[in-house]
Amino acid sequence: MNKPATVDVALAREFGLTAEEYGRVLTIMGRTPTLTELGVFSVMWSEHCSYKSSRKWLRNLPTTAPWVIHGPGENAGVVDIGQGYAAIFKMESHNHPSFIEPYQGAATGVGGILRDVFTMGARPVANLNALRFGSPENPVTRRIIDGVVRGIGGYGNCVGVPTVGGEINFHPAYDGNPLVNAMTVGIARTDKIFLSAAAGVGNPVVYVGSRTGRDGIHGATMSSAEFDEDALSKRPTVQVGDPFIEKLLIEACLELMATDAIVAIQDMGAAGLTSSSVEMAGKGGVGIDLDLDAVPQREPGMTAYEMMLSESQERMLMVLRPDRTDVARRIFEKWELDFAIIGHLTETGHIVVRHKGEVEADIPLAPLADQAPIYDRPATTPVPPAPLEPVHAPLSLDAMLLQLVASPDLCSRAWVWNQYDSTVGGQTVRRPGAADAAIVRVDDTDIALAVTTDCTPRYCQADPKTGGAQAVAEAWRNITATGARPLAVTDNLNFANPEKPEIMGQFIAAIEGMAEACTVLDFPVVSGNVSLYNETRNPDGSTTAILPTPAIGGLGVLENAAHAIGLGMQDGKDVVLLGATLGALGQSIWLREILGREDGPPPAVDLAAERRNGDFVRTEILAGAITACHDLADGGILVGVAEMVMAGGIGCELDSPDSGIRPEAFWFGEDQARYLACVDDGAALCARAAAAGVPARIIARSGGQDLILPSGVTISIARLKNAHETFFPALMDAR
């Protein structure tokens, strides 16, 4: 970026600040800010860093539970998983960069979320990714999938953290704005958790990791505006990742964390040196002096503005005990990483930035944080969709099933998973596709984590409150279906332009639904990220908003990893349907894929039923009665059965429903709070379910190599799999 000449309201606007916000800057400073100071204010007050549109509403989310050690406000959420260990986890978006430059956008998304987790002292043990792409028919989609998948694999595989789960949806609403939400889970001892609040006037401020270059300047500001036709010209604002350096950084930081040298530590993420130094000093209530001449630099001639705003990757900022700097320096030299003392803590309460003998910035930290704008933006309450008129199946049951399992949202993701190393670390108990949540054992213990990401954006579009609740409930179910106890969630709230009342209304309603579900299910939000302005301006002046997508990353724990069960059908079992089936076809995949319609209300979420049914299922799994389990979601019962059959390589014969519901509604309705379970004695399970108030019925008996429909029509596993596994290779490998 060329250095502009004068700092004024016009330049402030270019930096993303409104005139009113710039006025506030002038009041705080009592003078015209320098260019560097304006840069600091603009990134700290950007939507990305300040959450100015969302903060008011995020407060409505429940964030506490007896097992929560650190909720939102730290680099990641921390929960107690027993035996002296904590799970540290967070999900974060890299949506805008991934559209502009899919490989680097996705790769640096993975790198950034890894740093949020290991900066707290955790060894990262699992990565997940929640991805949303545009229509498969859009030629751009193929290029974006290719880059995003290669980027996630290229980074995660190299750093040696297994990628064990995630989800993928397609919808034209993401054509110009794909979503890449990356989640990392790490493990630390509960007594060795590192925080970011700086302390100790005079203590050295140390920079480690990669050198600072001119990449990513104003990335946080870019993420805080909608896209226009010029989006691709913003490629220079996308950072470039180096997973090899990240791997060294992980090992060096963990080695240093085993000593007592670190007072505080934070990664340099969005807004780089600015946000890390401002936040560390601000949280600690101290001042900070930075000498930019000491910052390791990739190229000569960088200005203070550029260094403070750079988003070069793989960098960390630490406050060390002064008597331990040599110990720390030796560790980073061993790992061949830059190590530089670039400043110290002061009692001024200001951030003072010096470069080449000049004071380039001198900003009081308290007002920078306390007077950050917060908006209560106008919002319109979403209008509930009209009920779905009666619909009728145009095809036979077997034809519809084959079409559904082959559809983009339900087909096999193996083409994607097979490019991610899911076994490195040697602790992956259940790999992608083997269970409703991935299962990763904690080294040196019997404990295992169950992790998943979930959201059904088409439900959120139709009814944001129900959709928000459903996303939480589905994550909770997926963890439950493995036998694990759900503990907490991280969220990644992807929405369009919050300055539009209908979008703000979606946001508020989705949070309301999430909050209700988190409360009833004892599943608090411990970390998260908000990504707004996911909206594309079309050449004709109209805009395309993404579907509201509050992605939920759920985490649960099993005291004994050996108790985890998968979803694959087992031979010679009764297959029991648990939970009530009403035949909800509104917003179903069936309605969209078979009838080409996206209407009606999403299935109702009955949180009391979720809790009751899920607690029953988990108890039966841990008692050893249920030996395979699959939660029911997209595609309903028949798709769920087919998924179990394909995963287990064992067929089953379905009973006639006799439910009083039309067959397509029974088999493909997406009622919530339901599970399919393999048990030896279905009648006994049904009796126990009845006693617990959980609707249950035997719907099939497993065995053989075919899925046999009630009509007697037979579909071989081979035929199901052939339909299921075609989409991705056909789309991506076509020459």
The mark string for 194-213 relative to other proteins (x by CB under 8 A, - otherwise) is --------------------
Who's near 508: CB < 8 A, 6+ residues apart?
Answer: 57, 379
Rounded Cα distance between 326 and 317, Å, is 16
- Sole window of 114-122, 277-285, 353-361, 420-428 interacting with other proteins (rule: CB under 8 A): 420-428
* 377 makes contact with other proteins (CB under 8 A): no
- Report residue 733: phi and psi, to 5°: -100, 0
- Contact status, residue 120 vs residue 193, Cβ threshold 8 Å: yes
Structure tokens at 490: 């991280």
Instruction: Figure out which of the listed residues 403, 419, 543, 659 binds other proteins, where binding follows CB under 8 A.
Output: 419
Residues making up the binding site: 51, 90, 92-96, 115-116, 239, 267, 311-313, 491, 528-529, 531
We find the least distance from the C-beta atom of residue 247 to other proteins, in angstroms, to be 6
In this complex, which beta carbon is closest to other proteins, that of residue 244 or of residue 395?
244
Rounded Cα distance between 31 and 33, Å, is 6
* 443 makes contact with other proteins (CB under 8 A): yes
- Sole window of 203-211, 295-303, 358-366, 414-422 interacting with other proteins (rule: CB under 8 A): 414-422
Instruction: Figure out which of the listed residues 248, 316, 625, 689 binds other proteins, where binding follows CB under 8 A.
Output: 248
* 159 makes contact with other proteins (CB under 8 A): yes
Strand boundaries in 24-84, DSSP class E = 68-70, 77-82
* Residue closest to 635 by CA, chosen among 412, 405, 383: 405
We find the least distance from the C-beta atom of residue 136 to other proteins, in angstroms, to be 19
We find the least distance from the C-beta atom of residue 34 to other proteins, in angstroms, to be 38
Rounded Cα distance between 243 and 222, Å, is 24
* 492 makes contact with other proteins (CB under 8 A): no
* 241 makes contact with other proteins (CB under 8 A): no
Alpha helices in 94-192 (DSSP H): 95-100, 102-118, 139-159
Instruction: Figure out which of the listed residues 65, 140, 294, 424 binds other proteins, where binding follows CB under 8 A.
Output: 424
* 240 makes contact with other proteins (CB under 8 A): no
Structure tokens at 48: 């990305």
3-state helix/strand/coil string of 490-537: EEEEECCCCCCHHHHHHHHHHHHHHHHHHHHCCCCEEEEEEECCCEEE
Q: Is 171 annotated as catalytic?
A: no
Instruction: Figure out which of the listed residues 33, 121, 243, 382 binds other proteins, where binding follows CB under 8 A.
Output: 243
* 60 makes contact with other proteins (CB under 8 A): no
The count of other CB atoms within 10 Å of the CB of residue 443 is: 13
User: Under rule CB under 8 A, how many of the chain's residues touch other proteins?
Assistant: 35
* 722 makes contact with other proteins (CB under 8 A): no
529-558 residues near other proteins, rule: CB under 8 A: none
We find the least distance from the C-beta atom of residue 142 to other proteins, in angstroms, to be 14
Instruction: Figure out which of the listed residues 99, 420, 675, 727 binds other proteins, where binding follows CB under 8 A.
Output: 420
133-152 residues near other proteins, rule: CB under 8 A: 150
Instruction: Figure out which of the listed residues 26, 562, 608, 623 binds other proteins, where binding follows CB under 8 A.
Output: 562
Rounded Cα distance between 80 and 488, Å, is 10
- Contact status, residue 223 vs residue 180, Cβ threshold 8 Å: no
Residues making up the binding site for substrate: 93-96, 115, 239, 311-313, 531
Instruction: Figure out which of the listed residues 47, 116, 242, 279 binds other proteins, where binding follows CB under 8 A.
Output: 242
Element (H, E) at 682: helix 682-691
Instruction: Figure out which of the listed residues 103, 417, 616, 675 binds other proteins, where binding follows CB under 8 A.
Output: 417
We find the least distance from the C-beta atom of residue 621 to other proteins, in angstroms, to be 16
* 428 makes contact with other proteins (CB under 8 A): yes
Residues making up the binding site for Mg(2+): 92, 116, 267, 529
Rounded Cα distance between 534 and 177, Å, is 6
In this complex, which beta carbon is closest to other proteins, that of residue 315 or of residue 431?
431
362 forms beta bridges with 352
In three-state secondary structure terms, 250 is helix
We find the least distance from the C-beta atom of residue 414 to other proteins, in angstroms, to be 8
Structure tokens at 466: 């129900």
Angle at the Cα of 485 from the Cα atoms of 484 and 489, rounded to 5 degrees: 110
We find the least distance from the C-beta atom of residue 133 to other proteins, in angstroms, to be 18
In this complex, which beta carbon is closest to other proteins, that of residue 298 or of residue 334?
334
We find the least distance from the C-beta atom of residue 168 to other proteins, in angstroms, to be 17
In this complex, which beta carbon is closest to other proteins, that of residue 15 or of residue 415?
415
Catalytic residue among 70, 94, 344, 724: 94
In three-state secondary structure terms, 723 is helix
In this complex, which beta carbon is closest to other proteins, that of residue 237 or of residue 428?
428
* 261 makes contact with other proteins (CB under 8 A): no
Q: Is 94 annotated as catalytic?
A: yes
358 forms beta bridges with 355
User: Quick one: how far is CA 519 from the chain centroid?
Assistant: 20
We find the least distance from the C-beta atom of residue 191 to other proteins, in angstroms, to be 22
311-340 residues near other proteins, rule: CB under 8 A: 334-336
* 450 makes contact with other proteins (CB under 8 A): no
Catalytic residue among 48, 218, 344, 355: 48
Rounded Cα distance between 103 and 156, Å, is 12
* Residue closest to 113 by CA, chosen among 180, 60, 20, 31: 180
Structure tokens at 495: 């929405």
* 247 makes contact with other proteins (CB under 8 A): yes
Who's near 329: CB < 8 A, 6+ residues apart?
Answer: 339
Rounded Cα distance between 266 and 676, Å, is 44
* Distances in whole angstroms, Cα of residue 452 to Cα of each of 83, 198, 477: 23, 33, 10
Instruction: Figure out which of the listed residues 191, 323, 658, 733 binds other proteins, where binding follows CB under 8 A.
Output: 733
- Sole window of 232-240, 305-313, 419-427, 469-477 interacting with other proteins (rule: CB under 8 A): 419-427
We find the least distance from the C-beta atom of residue 415 to other proteins, in angstroms, to be 9
- Contact status, residue 447 vs residue 498, Cβ threshold 8 Å: no
We find the least distance from the C-beta atom of residue 468 to other proteins, in angstroms, to be 33
* 157 makes contact with other proteins (CB under 8 A): yes
Buried b (16+ CB within 10 A) or exposed e, 369-400: eeebeeeebebeebeebeebeebebeeebbeb
* 718 makes contact with other proteins (CB under 8 A): no
- Sole window of 88-96, 310-318, 422-430, 478-486 interacting with other proteins (rule: CB under 8 A): 422-430
In three-state secondary structure terms, 359 is strand
In three-state secondary structure terms, 384 is coil
Who's near 376: CB < 8 A, 6+ residues apart?
Answer: 56
- Contact status, residue 80 vs residue 447, Cβ threshold 8 Å: no
Rounded Cα distance between 43 and 221, Å, is 6
* 724 makes contact with other proteins (CB under 8 A): no
* Residue closest to 734 by CA, chosen among 174, 172, 146: 146
State the helix-helix crossing angle for 501-520 and 464-480, rounded to 10 degrees.
Answer: 30
Instruction: Figure out which of the listed residues 60, 83, 259, 423 binds other proteins, where binding follows CB under 8 A.
Output: 423
Instruction: Figure out which of the listed residues 462, 561, 637, 685 binds other proteins, where binding follows CB under 8 A.
Output: 561
**Residues that bind other proteins in the complex, under the rule CB under 8 A:** 150, 153-154, 157-160, 242-245, 247-248, 334-336, 417-429, 431, 441, 443, 561-562, 733
> What amino acid positions are annotated as catalytic residues?
48, 94
